Structure 1
Amino acid sequence: MRFLIIIPAHNEESNLPFTLDSLQRQSFKDFKIVIVNDGSADNTSEVIRKYTDQDSRFETVNLQKSLHQPGSKVVNAFKKGLETQDVNMFDVICKFDSDVIFPENYLEKIDKAFRSNPEYGLVGGLLYVEKNGDWVYEGNSNKHHVRGPVKAYRKESFIQMNGIRETLGWDNIDAILLQNLGWKEVVLPELHVHLIKVKGTDYTIKPAEYYGKYFYFLGLNRFLAYIASFKEAAKSKSVSFFFKIIGSYENYRRKKLELKISEQERKVINRQRWEMLKQKWLKM
């Protein structure tokens, strides 16, 4: 299978070489990489040039700096990169981050999984972060969900779901839509991807404003949004956190901001969330 790998990058001069070096070292060689330089103000462009000058599999797209919007910024950059390529020339479409280090057999294992399992639509490994000198599981999601930095889609599944959405929550929306279309999302736990991040940073801690906005753009109805808000507040053991989240959610509802999913897709997402709620909480 032939891979198209698109990597959005903004001010990643320190991290990007680790990502690109790990891809050059892959045992699987049939891929093309498009690095989308999203208005970087550092030396990201110079870093990219070192690879595009030496390896014909590497290309770059330069964008003006886009406004920072969680989810939408990175997807916008991804789409700009995708527009420069003929998707029909590839079998697998990857959205990778610019601050990860892949094991040398990553693409080989992904290729084998797709070829051996025609029902697989989305495949990826697990993210690990450095803690006290060791690499440990990130734990920011369940181990059955392919995280945003390491997405690999079968081309047919990607086309059927109309690509990824330029919105907060896109990396959950894709999995739900693919499942509804009959495709499987599969994590290969033996593939450990190292996520480079600033020491002391905890990406699992997010403000109430974020969750309210996330639940709105995910398309959750009020009942499910309140349940999800309660779940997040319970983690923090804070009643006030619950009210802040639903306050944020209701604020976005009042504004009636445009969702990047259709009404039918919104129904699919709510139905899937309800089924998860029944299985995990209600034991039905």
Structure 2
Amino acid sequence: MRFLIIIPAHNEENNLSFTLDSLRLQSFKDFKVVVVNDGSTDGTAEIIKKYIDNDSRFETINLQKSAHQPGSKVVNAFKNGLDTQNIDEFEIICKFDADVILPENYLETVENSFKNNPQYGLIGGLLYVERDGNWVYEGNSNKHHVRGPMKAYRKESFSQMGSLRETLGWDNIDSILLENLGWKEIVIPELHVKLIKVKGADYTIKPADYYGRYFYFLGLKRFLAYIASAKEAMKIKSVSFLFEIMRSYENCRSQKLELKISKSEQKIINNQRWNMLKKKWLKR
């Protein structure tokens, strides 16, 4: 099974070489990498050139800088890279970040899992971050969800899903849509992926505004959005944080901001959230 790996990169001169080196050293060799240089103003382009000059498996495209919004920016860059390729030449489509280090057996393990399990639609490892000189599990999500920096899709599942949604929350929307289509999302815990840069560190959006917008663009109805807001507020034991998230969500509703999901997809997502609520809170 051949891999197509798309890597969006904006001002990643300090990180990108680690990611590309970890790909170059993979035990599985049948892949193609497209690095999408999204308007970088540092030495990212020079880093990319070193690889494409010495390895025919590496390519690049250059974009003008897009708006730095969580979710939509990275998916826009990913799609621009994808549009330059004939996906019929590949069996696995990956969206990787430009600041991860993959273990040498990453692609080999993912390929074997797809090959041996035809129901698998999305596969990834676990993210680890450096703290006090040690690499520890990131812990920002449950261990059954493949995080955005290291997504590997079976081409059939990716096509049935209709590609990625150019919006905040895209890396949860894909999981829900794939599950609804009958595909399985699989995390392989022994695959430890090192995350060099803490996600969100360069966003200017405030946490409460982020969550409010996230719940809106995920397509959550008001009641479910408020429950999700309360859950986040409980984590830091702040009533004011709850109301700030709700205010952000309501601002999005009042502005009638465009959703990147269809009405039917919105219904799927809300039904999934309801089922989770019944299972976890109502014990049904």
Q: Above 0.5 in TM-score?
A: yes
Q: 1:115 to 1:206 in 2, by over 3 A?
A: farther
Query: What is aligned with 1:133?
Result: 133
State the match for 1:83 in structure 2: 83
Partner-residue secondary structure (3-state), 2:153: strand
Distance in 1, matches of 2:260 and 2:155, equals 21
Aligned equivalent of 1:246: 246
TM-score by length of 2: 0.97
Shift of 1:281: 1.3
Between the two proteins, what is the percent identity of the paired residues?
76
**Cross-structure match for 2:5:** 5
Q: Scaled by the length of structure 1, what TM-score is found?
A: 0.97
Tell me the distance in 1 between the aligned counterparts of 2:57 and 2:110.
Answer: 19
- Determine the structure 1 residue equivalent to 2:162: 162
Q: C-alpha deviations, 1:47-103, integer Å up to 9, x for none?
A: 000000000000000001111111000000000000000011100000000000000
What amino acid maps onto 2:215 in structure 1?
A: F
Name the structure 2 match of 1:65: 65
What is the count of residue pairs matched by the alignment?
Answer: 282
Query: Matches of 1:189 and 1:236 in 2, distance apart?
Result: 28
Q: 1:266 to 1:198 in 2, by over 3 A?
A: closer
Question: What amino acid does structure 2 have at the position aligned with 1:156?
Answer: E
Looking at structure 1, the residues matched to 247 and 125 of structure 2 have their Cα atoms a distance apart, in angstroms, of 35
Q: Within 5 Å, which residues of 2 pair with 1:166-205?
A: 166-197=166-197
CA drift of 1:202 comes to 11
Specify the SS of the correspondent of 1:230. Answer: helix
Instruction: Tell me the secondary structure at the aligned position of residue 123 of structure 1.
Output: strand
The verdict on how the C-alpha distance between 1:198 and 1:261 changes in structure 2, with shifts beyond 3 A counting, is closer
Letter of the aligned partner of 1:195 in structure 2?
L
SS of 2:281 mapped into structure 1: helix
CA distance in 2, matches of 1:93, 1:260: 21
Secondary structure of the 1:235 match is helix
C-alpha separation between the residues in 1 aligned to 2:129 and 2:61?
Answer: 29
CA distance in 2, matches of 1:40, 1:281: 46
Counterpart residue type for residue 191 of structure 1: L
Please report how far the alpha carbon of residue 168 of structure 1 lies from its aligned counterpart in structure 2 after TM superposition: 0.1
Consecutive unaligned residues of structure 1, counting only runs of 5 or more, are none
The Cα of 1:207 is off from its aligned counterpart by 1.2
Measure how far apart 1:206 and its partner are. 6.0
Please, what is the CA RMSD of the aligned residues? Answer: 1.5
Moved over 4 A (4+): none
CA distance in 2 between partners of 1:161 and 1:239 (Å): 38
SS of match in other structure, 1:125: strand
Match of 2:46 in 1: 46
Structure 1 residues 111 and 44: alpha-carbon distance in aligned structure 2, compared to 1, 3 A threshold: same
> 1:131 and 1:212 mapped to 2: Cα distance?
29
CA apart distance, 1:198: 5.9
CA distance in 1, matches of 2:234, 2:206: 14
User: Residue type matched to 2:27 in 1?
Assistant: S
How much does 1:282 deviate? 1.3
Write the distance in 2 (CA, Å) between the matches of 1:197 and 1:133.
14
C-alpha separation in 1, matches of 2:129 and 2:232: 23
> Separation in 1 of the partners of 2:149 and 2:8?
10
- The alpha-carbon deviation at position 3 of structure 1 amounts to 0.2
- The residue aligned with 2:283 is 283
| CA offsets 1:214-267 (integer angstroms, 9 cap, x no match) | 000000000100000000000010011101101110110011111000000000
Query: 1:163: how far off?
Result: 0.4
Unaligned runs of 5+ in 2: none
- 3-state SS of the aligned residue for 1:208? helix
Residues 169, 4 of structure 1: alpha-carbon distance in 2 compared, 3 angstrom cutoff: same
1:280 Cα shift? 1.0
